[in-house]
Structure 1
């Protein structure tokens, strides 16, 4: 964990027991199957993740309470204290899976590049702002490739060109500084969304990402209220603080 500020990520092997993973697995599979039915065309066209598991009608109230309690569990709270200067807030959830086509290539990116911010503003924001993924693989997967330290440092020129498909480069081109972190069921990977990274497809990957961020106005603008607990569900959650900020 002490590595986070220096490297932008850390990996904890066997962080979850089999019972802990199994406790949410059926909920994730249910959401995913319903989502695939409603988004069959998007899946066919290359989409490889879904989001907002805690909103909508795919999950019932009891399932949402289970998921919110998993998201706010004590073990996570301890890790978050070592990453964020102040108590963070819950931003969203995502499920990651393989694309429908085996020929689809992965792509280097920083999540911040999709916010509409200028490049100059992005360069400044990554120095202080924190958006962090907790990745929980339900199946053993080939993992994620990360470029250490880029959660606070800007791209080398080649990395910028590849990430943005400039000067004849492709987003899937290999980068010299990339480090692959393989993941097994029960592991936890914590990494900055601001760093340069890409998923590694294959092995029928199926992973839950829980995303936390700084409790600041710039981040709150990206929060969808529908992803937060209803008043009834809120009362049933053990650790409420990361959801109680609007």
Structure 2
């Protein structure tokens, strides 16, 4: 697990057992079905992910408890300790699926480009602010394409143009340094949200992302406490320091 700090990602095959995946899969399916019913118009317009599985009323307390127990389990905590130099805090959950339109193009991006920061501010922030995705596929999928080391290094000129649709480039253009990592059920891909990456659509993908971030004021501003466990759920969890406790 030593490669993350240099490369910006870790790929761990067969990390979760079938039992562990099945335990949360039914809750993910339940959330997704209800989300699709209420957000059909957004799905029609091209949306390809949902978020905040642990807030709202799509899941009951028992469902949320199972999901939080999965998130806080010791084997995930072991990875977290290798990725973060200090204890991070839980940020959110997301589900990723295919867009309705099979011809919809994917797009290179850094998550930080959607925060409202200027380019110069982004260049500084990737050196001292960390958000990390733990991607856990429920089925075999084409995975993620990423550019190693860009969690700490800025774009090459071509990459910046593609990511920002400059000089005739578009975000779906191929990039020379891209590395595709296909995923299977039970795998986990840990990657920095700071790095240049894009999802690869197809194969009816259905993946859970669990996000953690540095426990610093700049990051805490993005946390919705409605996504955090209730007092009753906390009593059934390990590693509650992930919620700033």
SS of residue matched to 2:77: helix
- Structure 1 stretches (4+) deviating beyond 2 angstroms? none
Matches within 5 A, 1:157-196: 157-196=157-196
Structure 1 match to 2:131: 131
Distance 1:50 1:149 in 2: 27
Deviation of the 1:244 alpha carbon: 3.1
Distance 1:8 1:238 in 2: 27
Would you say the 8 A contact 2:148–2:179 is kept in 1?
yes
Structure 2 match to 1:234: 234
Structure 1 match to 2:156: 156
Deviation of the 1:111 alpha carbon: 0.2
Structure 1 match to 2:11: 11
- Deviations along 1:60-81, one digit per CA (max 9) or x if unpaired, are 0011000001011101111111
Distance 1:139 1:94 in 2: 16
Would you say the 8 A contact 2:140–2:205 is kept in 1?
yes
Number of residue pairs matched by the alignment: 245
Structure 2 match to 1:104: 104
Deviation of the 1:22 alpha carbon: 0.5
Structure 2 match to 1:69: 69
Structure 2 match to 1:146: 146
- Deviations along 1:24-71, one digit per CA (max 9) or x if unpaired, are 000000000000000000000000000000000000001100000101
Distance 1:20 1:233 in 2: 19
SS of residue matched to 1:91: strand
Distance 1:132 1:118 in 2: 21
Structure 2 match to 1:52: 52
Q: Which segments of 5 or more consecutive residues in structure 1 lack a partner in the other structure?
A: none
Q: Which segments of 5 or more consecutive residues in structure 2 lack a partner in the other structure?
A: none
SS of residue matched to 1:82: helix
Distance 2:129 2:229 in 1: 25
Distance 1:244 1:107 in 2: 33
Distance 1:87 1:244 in 2: 9
Aligned residues: CA RMSD:
0.7
TM-score, structure 1 normalization: 0.98
Would you say the 8 A contact 2:215–2:244 is kept in 1?
no
Distance 2:173 2:55 in 1: 36
Deviation of the 1:239 alpha carbon: 2.4
SS of residue matched to 2:92: strand
Structure 1 match to 2:206: 206
- Deviations along 1:61-108, one digit per CA (max 9) or x if unpaired, are 011000001011101111111111110000000000000000100000
Would you say the 8 A contact 2:136–2:188 is kept in 1?
yes
Would you say the 8 A contact 2:106–2:200 is kept in 1?
yes
